[in-house]
Amino acid sequence: MNTLAQCAAVVDEAARTATAIPQFTESGPLGVEEAYAIQALSMERRFARGETLAGIKMGLTSRAKMVQVGVAEVIWGRLTNVMRLEEGGALSKRRYVHPRIEPELAFIMKRELCGAVSPAEALSAVEAIAPAMEIIDSRYRDFKFALPDVIADNSSSSGFVVGPWGRPDQDFSNLGIAMEVDGRVVQLGSTAAILGHPLRSLVAAARAAAAIGGLKPGWIVLAGGATAAHPLSVGQHVRTRVQNLGSVSIKVG
Ligand code: OOG
Ligand code: MG
């Protein structure tokens, strides 16, 4: 079995070169704690190349997502400045292995938030909320993985795009979501699909982030896909509309 640092190098190289790799769990057991250690070490390699931490993403916070990937645990990963795509801009598909896109809700923090917090405390630390989309790109062959594999692979995160920021003091517990590809709706859902209320995902993020010193002001937190993810192909134009919050879009080049 490889060391954690070797695994981190393997998964980082797979992401950097957009090359699929076999799952780690195919060659031996891997624990969840070790998997988070691999994630941390692989992201350290990116930070050493000049990327900076921009926040965290929560994953598998909706039933639709758990069913799609066959893993039923909430997971998290790290977002970097380089992963952020410009709203309305284009992504280059050849930089990914087999990218998918999913509708999300983003928070931006105005205050630090760390450890066990109540939903009200979490909300009071939020500067704004926005419609968002995450590009997920499992580095594992055929987009297949077990829980420790996906955690080691930064929870499949590979890009994100954020729409207009809105006030956090509005009811966002059950807002309709429609994700369209070239004007055709491919996924319909509600923010309520995210743990019953997206704020619960932020509470979970604060708990998870305790391991890295808490959520920091200015960080973005992605609450997790509200629907199943949709595969991306060159030429597509993808737009997600969230009731009351506006829309966010990306082109695939
Ligand atoms: C794992 C990442 C899950 C979400 O929003 O649920 C995720 C995957 O689907 O590959 O990002
Ligand atoms: Mg996601």
Residue 147 has φ and ψ, to the nearest 5°, of -50, -50
Tell me the pLDDT band of 2, cut-offs 50, 70 and 90.
confident
Which domains are seen in the chain, by residue range?
A: 4-252 (3.90.850.10)
Q: Where are the beta strands (DSSP E) in 65-141?
A: 75-80, 84-85, 90-91, 100-109, 126-136
**pLDDT at residue 1, as a whole number:** 56
Give the per-residue pLDDT at 71: 94
pLDDT, tens digit, 9 for 90 and up, residues 31-82: 999 999 999 999 999 999 999 999 999 999 999 999 999 999 999 999 999 9
Report helix, strand and coil shares of the chain as percent, to nearest 5: 35, 30, 35
pLDDT reported for residue 77: 98
What is the per-residue pLDDT for 168?
A: 98
> What radius of gyration, in Å, describes the C-alpha atoms of the chain?
17
Count of beta carbons in the 10 Å neighbourhood of residue 64:
17
Q: The pTM is what?
A: 0.98
- Pull the structure tokens for residue 89: 């801009």
Nearest ligand to residue 68 Cα: 1
Residue 100 Cα to ligand 2 midpoint, Å, equals 10
The strand pairing partners of 134, in sequence order, are 102, 160
DSSP per residue over 4-31, as a string? HHHHHHHHHHHHHHT--B--GGGSS---
What is the number of residues in the chain? 253
Nearest listed ligand to the Cα of residue 154: 1
Say what the pLDDT of residue 233 is: 98
CA angle centred on 202, ends 44 and 250, rounded to 5°? 70
Residue 182 has which token pair? 């070239």
Pocket (CB within 6 angstroms of ligand 1): 57, 59-61, 65, 69, 102, 134, 136, 138, 150, 155-156, 224-225, 229
Residue list, CB under 5 A from ion ligand 2: 134, 225
> What average pLDDT score do residues 139-161 get?
98
**142: CA distance to ligand 1 center in Å?**
15
Q: Which amino acid residue places its CA nearest to atom 10 of ligand 1?
A: 156
Q: What's at 82, amino acid-wise?
A: V
pLDDT for position 109: 98
Note the pLDDT tens digit of each residue in 176-235: 999 999 999 999 999 999 999 999 999 999 999 999 999 999 999 999 999 999 999 999
Supply the ipTM of this predicted assembly: 0.99
Distance 9 CA to ligand 2 centre (A): 23
Distance, CA of 68 to CA of 65 (rounded, Å):
5
Q: Whose CA is nearest to atom 8 of ligand 1?
A: 156
* 154/137 Cα distance (integer angstroms): 10
* 176-181 and 184-190 beta bridge pairing: antiparallel
Q: Whose CA is nearest to atom 7 of ligand 1?
A: 59
